[in-house]
Amino acid sequence: MGLLVKMNALVISVISALYIYQMFYVAVVFIGEWLQKHRSKKHAEPPVTLHRYAAIISARNESNVIGQLLDTIRSQNYPSELLDAIVIADNCTDNTAQVARDHGAIVYERFNTQKVGKGFALNDAFQHIKTDFGDSYYDAYVIIDADNLLDENYFAEMNKTFCKGYRILTSYRNSKNFGSNWISAGYSLWFLREAKFLNNARMMLGTSCAVSGTGFLVSSEIIRERGGWNYHLLTEDIEFTVDTVIRGENIGYCAKAMLYDEQPTRFEQSWNQRMRWSKGFYQIVANYGGRLSGGIVKNRRKNPFACYDLMMTVMPCMLLTVCILISDFFLLLMSLFGDVYMPHLMQTMLSSLGFWLTGYYGSLFMMGALTMITERKKIQCPIPKRILYTFTFPIFQLTYFPISVAALFRRVEWKPIRHEISKTIDDVR
């Protein structure tokens, strides 16, 4: 019994020590924003050069939503002659390709049922671009999901930060459907927190940010150097981030470039998506864990803290928590159905479980509440729902526990997410 209590205390202490720096990130954001607001003299901004961009959109059966995205690209406050939309229609069985053409996009159709996934589609798109335009025609590419919508200043703001020397950038990820239900709100609040209190702080500190699925810029130099897009694990975005940081390159963040992303609303859909993410994290640990951890020690001139920060992002600390909870559960079963009834054991198990859940819920609640307050002007949702979803946010995150365990044992394959929320940029604002 004493051993179990010590194990629980040890795991709590270790996880807290590993992630305590993220509390420091919160302080960095508040202090940094205060200094930016009150400093007397503005730093001279580098001269802005207008670069040529291509928005790369991998789409599978996205005819319901892709038109609205392409409309926001055509409406950018950026010279239209320097901005193209390129759609890779990936194994589509609907009229996605035609809808994209009707909205002014360059379209490549792809039919390959063996190499399935966004990573393969992106690589095919880059190969088509190289053949048709040359690999230096565009200065950079912006990877966007078909269900997204872009603020009209998105490319103008990304271009400003690109001119500061970053070859890879990520942006502010808002939501098209924050208020749909507790599931969409759970996703949305997490991504808002990632933008505000992770990437924002990283940018202020000069360490590397992290790419997250959609809304990121990649210089054409990067694509040439790496021979295309060669990231095909289940979480190709995190794989790309990890490989970039191992190479010693920092990823930047543009807080003023905002996109709106559609989040799942059905639990089954959410379960499948997060199962893929969890499995993808395990794949990254298996394929890159050694080099990433080695970079913490060896990359002294290449930002070793970025390697540590990413290791904390991908390492399955949640799995450690799950293991402790499972051990508590089995000991509880022993106390209920064992040969000897041990009420004190049951009481200890329940106390331990309650301690874990209370602490986990409380920390996530504070995280969600802080994000909800600071980002309130960017959240389109009635106030009563905002309050409710602040309380349900920790519950949504707790559902990762069974997903993390199941992902260890289940075969997981990439599956498309169906998007059905057709909104214009004015609708979400």
What is the chain's mean pLDDT, rounded? 88
Average pLDDT of span 332-340: 58
What is the percentage of the chain residues whose pLDDT exceeds 90?
Answer: 65
313 found inside a domain: no
List, for residues 350-380, the tens digit of each pLDDT value: 666 676 678 788 889 999 999 999 999 999 9
Residue 140 pLDDT more than 90? Answer: yes
**In this predicted structure, what is the pLDDT of residue 44?**
66
Average pLDDT of span 331-342: 57
Could you give the number of structural domains in the chain? Answer: 1
Average pLDDT of span 83-99: 95
Average pLDDT of span 332-345: 58
More confident residue, 106 or 315: 106
Strand order in the sheet with 106-110: 106-110, 83-90, 53-59, 140-145, 216-219, 168-175, 252-261, 149-150
Residue with tokens 């979803």: 389
247 found inside a domain: yes
Residue 342 pLDDT more than 80? Answer: no
DSSP category for residue 47: P
Average pLDDT of span 61-82: 95
Rounded Cα gap, residues 261 and 173, in angstroms: 7
Mean pLDDT lowest among 157-161, 322-326, 381-385, 396-400: 322-326
Mean pLDDT lowest among 169-178, 222-231, 329-338: 329-338
**In this predicted structure, what is the pLDDT of residue 423?**
77
Range of the domain at 255: 49-265
Compute the CA torsion angle 257, 59, 95, 103 (nearest 10 deg). 20
Mention every residue, 6+ apart, whose C-beta is less than 8 A from residue 359: 12
Residue in 49, 125, 51, 106 with CA at minimum distance from that of residue 82: 51
101 found inside a domain: yes
Collapsing DSSP to helix, strand or coil, 235 comes out as: coil
**In this predicted structure, what is the pLDDT of residue 427?**
79
Residue 86's CATH number: 3.90.550.10
Average pLDDT of span 59-73: 95
**In this predicted structure, what is the pLDDT of residue 104?**
94
Average pLDDT of span 282-286: 90
Residue 145 pLDDT more than 70? Answer: yes
**In this predicted structure, what is the pLDDT of residue 170?**
97
425 found inside a domain: no
146 found inside a domain: yes
The runs of H, that is alpha helices, within 20-77 are: 21-38, 66-74
Contact status, residue 184 vs residue 265, Cβ threshold 8 Å = yes
What is the percentage of the chain residues whose pLDDT exceeds 70?
Answer: 86
**In this predicted structure, what is the pLDDT of residue 15?**
76
375 found inside a domain: no
11 found inside a domain: no
Rounded Cα gap, residues 149 and 424, in angstroms: 8
Q: SS in 3 state form for 387-411? A: HHHHHHHHHHHHCHHHHHHHHHHCC
Residue 405 pLDDT more than 90? Answer: no
Residue in 368, 356, 357 with CA at minimum distance from that of residue 392: 368
List, for residues 307-321, the tens digit of each pLDDT value: 999 988 887 665 666
372 found inside a domain: no
